[in-house]
Amino acid sequence: MNAVVVGGGSWGTAFARLLASRGHDVTLAARDPERHAILLDFTILSSILHGAVMTYDSFAQEHEMLHLVGDVPILFALAGVLIWLHPRRWPTAEAVTGSSV
């Protein structure tokens, strides 16, 4: 199920994380996305850790080897794309212009 949570305050962030942990596709609409970069951090870290656990599991149990072909590369690619898209990676308008808007 797709969901959009409007409001990136503490309640909206907690609700979005709850929906995401239940496997739903969540879009968090916030005025200032840089303040809510913690959601991206959580997704990046969970993707990397899940990929690492699945890699170990693939070698520990022979019948799980197909995860190395499909699931694991997707998880690591997702983490890489999210790192590239992370708001902290790109300069803000204040940093570029030297003044606040």
State both tokens at 49: 């850790």
- Span 48-76, pLDDT tens digits: 999 999 999 999 998 889 889 988 999 99
CA distance 83 to 94: 22
Backbone φ and ψ of 4, nearest 5°: -120, 125
CA distance 51 to 9: 30
Token match 């570029």: residue?
A: 96
- pLDDT at site 50: 92
pLDDT tens for 31-48 read 776 766 777 888 899 999
pTM of the model: 0.60
**Could you tell me how far CA 69 lies from the centroid of its own chain?**
21
**Residue 94's pLDDT band (cuts 50, 70, 90):** low
